Chain A
Amino acid sequence: MSFEILTFSFMHRALISGIAIAILCSVVGLFLVLRRYSLFGDAIAHSSFGGIALGLLAGVYPLWTAYGVSIAGALIITKIKDRYNISGDASIAVLLSSGIAVGLVIIGLSGGFTIDIFSFLFGSILLVSVDDTILILSLTGIILIVILILYRQILYSTFNEEQAKVSGIPVEKINYLIVFMAGITVVTSIQLVGVLLISALFVIPNVTAIMYGKGFKQTAIISMSFSIFSVIVGILVSYVFDITPAGTIVLMAIGLLAGTMGIKSAGLLSKN
């Protein structure tokens, strides 16, 4: 393996975007996992499939329509869930299947599959442009700042809604904010791992980090580190061996999870 690959500018863009997305997914994903909403990212990603198909049909840059459709879909399903008292997992199923259904119908209308759709399904991190990179960095920055500012409120309403309400926290607004941020995060991350593997980045580093028995900030930092490690190693390894980056990244994350479980069952992780 030569270090020459580190001098390619497409590789710089891939690594920079990848690291930003890794941080974003691990932070937003932590709140989703703790809200027992792990598959919500997956559902948003599938609904973005409908948005991407819409963009391809209309001749608009597909990620823009994906942002619109995914965020709208996520907010609407949350509203419906609260209004009609549908359980979280059922609402995820509804969102997920309607996104795919819309996508399939649109693709049919447009006269069949185009090759473009595959890069959205499986990611295309080595192809990100300078503009994409700037967009990814800006959105990551904005969302991280919002989370940093509202960190206590978001954590508190995730921990216990009722008590948060009594402490005067606008729990419902916070819930919608999280859904909104999840929508942006998912679509932004599609370029890295594609529609099909999004929830891996949301869930696996966080489930791994939670096992270390630490407090909130440390758990978030451990998760971020694992996420960044998986993305960097995944991108480099996949390039060297000419395999798909998305799959390699996710396998790295799974490797860290398996390693952590191994350490834990060997009793090497103390309880606190």
Chain B
Amino acid sequence: MTTEVQDTPRTGELEIRAIPPKHPWRWAAAAVVVLLAAMLVYSMLTNPRYQWDVVFSWLLARTILRGLLLTLALTAVSMLTGILLGVVFAVMRGSPNRLLSGAAGVYIWFFRGTPLLVQLVFWFNLSALYPRIVVGVPFGGPELTALNANALISPMTAAFLGLALNEAAYMAEIVRAGIVSVPAGQLQAASALGFTRMTTMRRIVLPQAMRVIIPPTGNQTISMLKTSSLVSVLAIPELLYSAQIVYARTFQTIPLLIVVSIWYLALTSVLTVAQGKIERRFSAGEET
């Protein structure tokens, strides 16, 4: 960011010409960057081990596209569930009832305090901890029906649970920040008008909290798209695991990882543009 001073000389007065400062080091750094970029491009074009022909042959392959769809579906469903649960936990967190707010606090503490990968593997192995999931009267009462946990918690369920429950903890904090950003005076005014707490939350608090909630939620969505690749450890054929299946067979590891990267980059770029549009729409409504 150079600031160039442009003095417009007034006629009849001494003319002063402003000379912008020179930045020799900036130029040197730029030259180094250009040089490194050129080397990289050159090697990408000439190093045969990139196998660009293989990259392009797999880029639109059916198995890769199916993985891509699954990645998108997992991201959308986990994100939506995470947002809904996040709103619930955020409202609980702010409840005057200590038990409710404490429970939400513990939830957030637990799911933010352990690695997502550990949570995913944990859900996957839930049947080791609770082999049978029983519907009935708790604490040793009669059973209505019992389900085999192994059958209930399929890898797909484990993946969805892991991603959504983890996301809920982060979304709860984001929604909470939005809720507390609404001035307390407006809540009082709403109460004084005869609003119930529910109406106040829906009509006064959440619409205004959106301005604070939307930008980080966009970031979370983009992050979720990439993080969903973690479920490849559960052998869910999303984008990454689909590619892994292929290269385990063909040993074309690098080209297939390039295919995967191209798709992630394309999707995050689209999401980033969409995020910018949504944020601008929201702030436009705010300024007028």
Chains A and B come from one and the same complex: no
Q: Interface on B for A, CB 8 Å cutoff?
A: none
Q: Interface on A for B, CB 8 Å cutoff?
A: none
